[in-house]
Structure 1
Amino acid sequence: MNDQRFLDAYFDRIGFKGPQIPSLELLNNITLAHVRSIPFENLDILLGKSINISLDSVFEKLIIQKRGGYCFEQNGLLLHVLQKLGFEVTPISARVRLDRPREFTPPRTHVFLRVEHSGKSWFTDVGVGGVSLTSAIEFIQDTEQKTNHETRRIVYEGNRYFHQVLFPNGWSDVCEFTLEEMPEIDRELANWYTSDHPKSHFKDRLIVARAGEDGKRFTLVNREFSERDKNGIANKFLIKSPKDLIKILKEKFNLTFPLDTEFRTPGLQWDQ
């Protein structure tokens, strides 16, 4: 497939029809459209499938099959798109820190993108679940930055950078990084751990997330569905049956599965 056909298919998938000239506005528009249209999800892992992060496989899954994926799929796809559009892009290695104390060291199994434009560095990340960026943030320290959803900032502590999100109860770490590039071989290795290692947290819980309009976030963790508004206030309810789960996946995330699909994970227990 030539570059323009690839880009046309991608832009059709995310519903974007604007100019394709590299600019900060284009970067922001793509980031927002992507996370509204392509959900974050780990469902193939719970179906016993390995995750192939080659470009052909990611294109087939996320674009043709209209599925979602996690960071190596999501940001891997966006990396290729931005490069074909003419942006200067570097994949950056990171550790996800959501809901994890600073004294705990998580594996380096996350990748996000650094984009150079007009003499400045910008970060975008469409693959970190319920807090995926909906517009790029500038690589500047200790400065609050508004996005289409939450406020963000980058701080530097203990020889590490921390990308943080502002929730109603205060700042929370999203991920930590050192600006080290994550080449393809490192992404392959980290993807193997994330998708196949028995201690991967993607093995023991179901996770699906998508950004909505007007600052909304839709998140599904095991049986708990959450709809969070622009103020960070969440309305939650518990899914009662496997069929209701399939219905929620379709209605809120546009993911279609047969009614008899069984996602196997210790975090998904149904009342007998």
Structure 2
Amino acid sequence: MDIDAYLDRLGVARPAAPDLATLRHLQERHLAAVPFENLSVHLGEHVVLAEDELFEKIVRRRRGGFCYELNGLFAALLRELGYEASLHAAQVFRPDGTLGPPLDHAAIVVTLDEPWLVDVGFGRFAEHPLRLSGVDTQLGEFLLLDAPHGDIDVLMDGKPQYRLERRPRPLADFAPMAWWQSTSPESHFTRSLTCSRPTSQGRVTLSGDKLIETVEGVRHEVVLPSPEAIRAAYRVYFGMALTKLPTPPGESPLTSGALSPTLP
């Protein structure tokens, strides 16, 4: 991995030591610089869970991705920087409180003197590591609770977000679910189009032709009038120079389910 190129993508200098302060800064910068987005699903692009492919997409092409891509590559960077970082599967809670399928989400656990949850691939979530060593632990707006089979439930603002496995997994374990998320008509990612990142005052999201900015808790939404305006928004707000725009949900070539999982 070209560590310097990745750090340049994040806008940070090479750190002196793999400590908690540096981890906090790296997570904060990753969230700000690399958007959570599912454009590949609507651009006819394969989602390939191999570190070299992810590096090309996220660092060289200055794109974003969803959880398997963002946390998969960020975990690799952390290991290159001297951290003990592993990927862990999670099941995402649905709005009705039931759990989604296994390996529905990928997050990172970094072990320093104690384990920390790091997640740059869940959209709106913690901007800094969450301590995992305690049980029934309140961390600001986040609450971590013991769950069955030794798993951990992560709540935000009192609402369950996902159930995290304790066991580590290789990136390849997530390839079949990444394929399902990218192709199934039942997947949230085939039924929606989003590109989002936090800002210093809130959050900015581009969903199709809708540009949504939240500033100090106040939501502002505008419909962009033309493809040129949409391209400009991707460039200005997310640093993306797209040669073509993603197809609206329901029309993407990947939603047919005709593609097979692409394994590393």
| TM bucket normalised to smaller | 0.7 to 0.9
Q: Aligned letter for 2:82?
A: G
1:162 paired to 2:153: yes
2:72, 2:210 → 1: CA distance? 28
Whether the 8 Å contact between 2:4 and 2:14 is mirrored in structure 1 is: no
Question: 2:118–2:128: 8 Å Cα contact kept in structure 1?
Answer: yes
Counterpart for residue 38 of structure 1:
34
From 194, 197, 203, the counterpart of 1:217:
203
SS at match of 1:265: coil
| More relative contact order, 1 or 2 (CA 8 Å, 6+ apart) | 2
- Alignment partners' CA distance in 2, 1:107 and 1:153: 21
Question: CA separation in 2, counterparts of 1:246 and 1:108?
Answer: 33
**Structure 1 vs Structure 2 CA RMSD:** 2.3
Do the aligned partners of residues 240 and 117 (structure 1) sit closer, same or farther apart at CA in structure 2, a change above 3 Å counting? same
Cα distance in structure 2, aligned partners of 1:200 and 1:71: 14
- TM-score where L is the length of structure 1: 0.83
Q: Which residue of 2 aligns with 1:190?
A: 177
Tell me, yes or no, if the aligned pair for 1:222 and 1:267 is still in contact at 8 Å.
Answer: no
1:138 alignment counterpart:
131
The answer to whether structure 1 residue 20 and structure 2 residue 4 are counterparts is: no
Give 1:173's aligned residue. Answer: 160
Q: Report the counterpart of residue 260 of structure 2 in structure 1.
A: none
1:254 deviation in Å? 1.5
Aligned letter for 1:224?
A: K
In structure 2, give the amino acid aligned to 1:49: E
Equivalent residue number for residue 153 of structure 1:
143
Query: Quick check: 2:7–2:14 contact (8 Å CA) kept in 1?
Result: no
1:68 Cα deviation from its structure 2 partner: 0.9
Tell me, in whole angstroms, the C-alpha distance in 1 between the residues paired with 2:173 and 2:74.
18
The secondary structure found in structure 2 opposite 1:144 is: strand
Partner residue, 1:208: 195
Q: Which amino acid aligns with 2:212?
A: S
Offset, 1:198? 3.4
Deviation of 1:249 after TM superposition, in Å, equals: 1.5
Q: Name the structure 2 match of 1:110.
A: 105
Structure 2: state its 5+ residue gaps: 253-264
